[in-house]
Amino acid sequence: MDADGLSKSSLRPTVKRSLERALAGRPLDRDEIIELLQSHGPEVEALRAAADEVRRRSVGDAVHLRGVIEFSNYCRRNCLYCGLRAGNGDLERYRIDPDEIVDIAGRAGKLGYRTIVLQSGEDVTYDADTLVWVVRRIKGDLDAAVTIAVGDRPRDEYKAWREAGADRYLLKHETADPELFSRLRPGTALAERVEHLRWLKELGYQVGSGNMIGLPGQTIASIADDLLLLRELDVEMAGIGPFIPNDQTPLADRPGGSLDQTLITLATARLVLPFAHLPATTATGSIDPRGRQKALSFGANVIMPNVTPGRYRQDYRIYPNKICLTEEPENCRPCVEAIITSLGRTVGRDYGHSPKAGFGPGRVEPTA
Ligand code: SAH
Ligand code: SF4
């Protein structure tokens, strides 16, 4: 990194020491993480530069693209923050047929995507067998990795999808504060979510988790706990983005998470989880026109463009003002590539598997 970055006299000595420790590959403790999360003034640039350096050394310059298919906006849950919540009667609901999901994946494959993400609300209409069929078809037709993100399901369903060929699973822990978790996600508990994440690991998935920044009642210490939980779970990916209030939810009047705190958390996450994939999230791009570019320079190395056909996009309204709502997948791809190359980075051409041992060629097979 820029040698001056750490020699600025205006850095608190303890912040300077933490950044030096992280650059030397030593794990940060909770107090150090809390302090980094409170970086201000010139400390923010020093943190960014350290995260960018660790990102470059551990995961390189390639930015991996994941094409996301939002195949159903029905949801049985009532998460207070999310527009897809069952209690939102103002949303036009849709389900995409399994055949059409496979077609959309094929269209994404033609655009060069080497990872297809199947995401939805918690919609059990798509039962285990239906998703087994979809995963098998996509894996059979395309040279691509498949990620599933359909929320909480029984362990045997996760196992069936893994055996059908699914490579990764995304299940954010959302917040590591157990009380806040249960308040925001009625009828669910953090301990269950963590148990599911452990199952997914045991089954041999590359596991993605993550959390929101700026949730009502969230503290800096609890964000530090988010990062510690991600480290303890040894996740392969961590999605970190701002909470964005949605008018159609009970949290409509709450302030959203700030771009600054999101970027500071992302950079700290890069120091805590050097080898994890960290997306420049769509939510970060939705609160600032250059949000994703900024995230890429604060430690991120993944972008997850939407490949859902335009006619469904408007209704996958988790939060308002989501970017690219009127686009078709064909337009998103060049736009995202331009973002990456304008930063002097390269577009990942392989699957973008976890760089950790055991994934990619010669990977471990699923265990029971
Ligand atoms: N139903 C699945 C996947 C879809 S939700 C699940 O919950 O895991 C995908 C992600 O959207 C959630 O993990 C959450 O972090 C994010 N999200 C929901 N509401 C949001 C909001 N108001 N602002 C920002 N992100 C939100
Ligand atoms: Fe459903 Fe996921 Fe939204 Fe919760 S966050 S309401 S589980 S779509």
266 and 211, same domain (yes or no):
yes
Count H helices and E strands in the chain, helices first: 15, 9
304-314 tens-digit pLDDT: 999 999 999 99
User: Residue holding tokens 């949290």?
Assistant: 251
121 and 48, same domain (yes or no):
no
Least confident stretch, 100-109, 237-246, 315-324: 315-324
Q: Is the pLDDT assigned to residue 2 strictly greater than 90?
A: no
193 and 259, same domain (yes or no):
yes
Q: Is the pLDDT assigned to residue 350 strictly greater than 80?
A: yes
User: Residue holding tokens 């991600």?
Assistant: 230
Q: Is the pLDDT assigned to residue 94 strictly greater than 50?
A: yes
Residue 362 within a domain: no
Residue 361 within a domain: no
C-beta separation of 220 from 37 below 8 A: yes
Identify the band that residue 41 occupies on the pLDDT scale cut at 50, 70 and 90: very high
Identify the band that residue 8 occupies on the pLDDT scale cut at 50, 70 and 90: low
19 and 155, same domain (yes or no):
no
Residue 342 within a domain: yes
8 and 110, same domain (yes or no):
no
Pocket lining for ligand 1, CB < 6 angstroms:
81-82, 119, 121-122, 149, 151, 171-172, 174, 212, 241, 243-244, 246, 283, 318-319
DSSP helix/strand/coil, 12: coil
CA dihedral sign of residues 19, 20, 26, 28: negative
User: Residue holding tokens 């308002």?
Assistant: 320
Atom 6 of ligand 1: nearest residue by CA position: 151
Of the ligands numbered here, which is closest to the C-alpha atom of 79?
A: 2
Question: What is the model's pLDDT at position 5?
Answer: 53
49 and 95, same domain (yes or no):
no
Could you say which of 19, 40, 56 is where a domain stops? 56
112 and 8, same domain (yes or no):
no
Query: How many folded domains does the chain comprise?
Result: 2
224 and 101, same domain (yes or no):
yes
Give the DSSP H or E segment for 65. strand 62-65
Domain that holds residue 34: 3-56
Residue 354 within a domain: no
pTM of the model: 0.95
Question: What is the model's pLDDT at position 363?
Answer: 43
C-beta separation of 131 from 162 below 8 A: no
Q: For residue 211, give the CATH number of its domain.
A: 3.20.20.70
Instruction: Please state the rounded mean pLDDT for residues 38-62.
Output: 97
C-beta separation of 225 from 181 below 8 A: no
Neighbours of 86 (CB within 10 A): 13
Q: Is the pLDDT assigned to residue 362 strictly greater than 90?
A: no
Pocket probe for ligand 1: among 74, 190, 318, the residue whose CB has the most ligand atoms within 8 Å is: 318
Question: What is the model's pLDDT at position 10?
Answer: 86
Distance of alpha carbon 199 from alpha carbon 168, whole angstroms:
12
170-207 tens-digit pLDDT: 999 999 999 999 999 999 999 999 999 999 999 999 99
**Backbone phi, psi, residue 298, to 5°:** -110, 25
Residue 199 within a domain: yes
Question: What is the model's pLDDT at position 3?
Answer: 46
DSSP helix/strand/coil, 178: helix
Q: Is the pLDDT assigned to residue 250 strictly greater than 70?
A: yes
131 and 180, same domain (yes or no):
yes
Distance 318 CA to ligand 1 centre (A): 7
Q: Is the pLDDT assigned to residue 11 strictly greater than 60?
A: yes
